Structure 1
Amino acid sequence: MNLTESDSNHNDLENLSINEILQGINREDQSVAMAVKKALPQITSLLENLVPKMQLGGRLFYIGAGTSGRLGILDASECPPTFGVAPDKIIGIIAGGDTAIRKAVEFAEDNTEQAWKDLMNYDINEKDFVIGIAASGRTPYVIGGMGKAREHNISTACITCNPGSEMVNSADFPIEVAVGPEFITGSTRMKSGTAQKMVLNMISTTAMIQLGHIKGNKMVDMQLSNDKLVDRGTKMIMSELNISYEAAKRLLLKHGSVRKAISVEK
């Protein structure tokens, strides 16, 4: 049974009021966090194997199509500014290339060979780790890429909302989040997309903490790419060194990062 394609629990949506639609979507969304909770042992197993690879210099690749691919790119792109890691530490790849981030590329997800070609552009090797993302668990682009990765002794995982799917067979560490039928039948950008985003948040955040990019609960390695982040960094230094805002800002701008400012001046 393909759970992500199963019929919605709601019907006659076009006859509902705005409030009724919103109430229905919200009721469905409330089940997502509990579905993710049930998958925590699988997420734990993945991270226990991913983190040591990344500590030894391995990279994390996300591969996906459509919404799933975009979510992987989103998670990967937010790690450099948040945690100060190099842009090539976590890499998101989408079927159809960068064009597909904004616009659907017809039949891109049906190519079983392209994902491996895309991964080879980054000289992927045994130190790295590949996570395939597909709500249905049957996207040819993703399954093909994961299969090729395993053939080359590269560890694989998957995030799917369809338990027992084909993709699970290509994953060393499968994560299955059974969110059930979507509010609109088959619209996996909804509950399935929310579940995938939650799992991706867990994976990247936990990995970055384990790799030492957080001190206490603060983003001490974040990039100072706008005034808001400079202000946040200044306040971190104020608190840590017990100095004035002005003095903290001078130190931040001098050293270029919260971590350096604190470690040098403490």
Structure 2
Amino acid sequence: MIGIYFSGTGNSRYCVEKFLQKCDIIANSYSIENSELLQNIHNHEDIIFGYPVQYSNVPKILKDFIIKHSTLWNGKRIFIIATMALFSGDGSGMLSRTLKKYGATTIGGLHVRMPDSIGDEKILKHSLEYNRKLVIKAEKKITEAAKKLKYGVPPKEGLGFLSHIVGLFGQRLYFINKTNVYTDKLKINAEECVVCGKCIDLCPMKNLVIKNDMIVSNGQCTMCYRCVNNCTKQAITLLGKKVVEQSNIEKYM
């Protein structure tokens, strides 16, 4: 068994790693950006797959990864962990249906609420205490789910028809274009930016580059919020106009 994740601020990575620990097995987990991942997918049948839900959908970068490596999924047994701030309906179901096209079988699904990573929207923010309690609840839920998987009765959250309807009409139908394409809405405040290059190193899309002594976006943002949440000058925004809170999983441990 191995773990695979795509993670912006660490929520999905944390959940996958905790799940593997609670299964009491020795297993490694890999980001989809890891150069060793493809060989490890080839060598393992059972996979724990984690990702952050975006508008009840799969992030564009993850969809592209799965399609690009479509031959790898045939015969794999997948348990999906979908992390979210509010709800998704069928977060795990979206990934499950995509993987099924390429021969994978989904054996279970889990929806885990985690601290919100959208650092430039005040309406989504909660207190530090609230988010720390959220992480504690998440670990308890992960522990229970891991036990059920070991006993052969894994949870199947987000995989049914009703969940599909909730996800479709709850968010996805109205925001479908948000995740079908990469966005060009990322903004860098040139007056605040000191061109340290940290965001360039963190970006999974290699979307940020230096031009004319300024950091600019190439319009290929997958909305993972790494740059927004790690910019030392809080000079980067995406959905909002200013950074309200920078959120990484380590903050809530």
Do they fold alike, i.e. is TM over 0.5? Answer: no
More helix by share: 1
TM-score by length of structure 1 reads 0.31
TM-score by length of structure 2 reads 0.32
More strand by share: 2
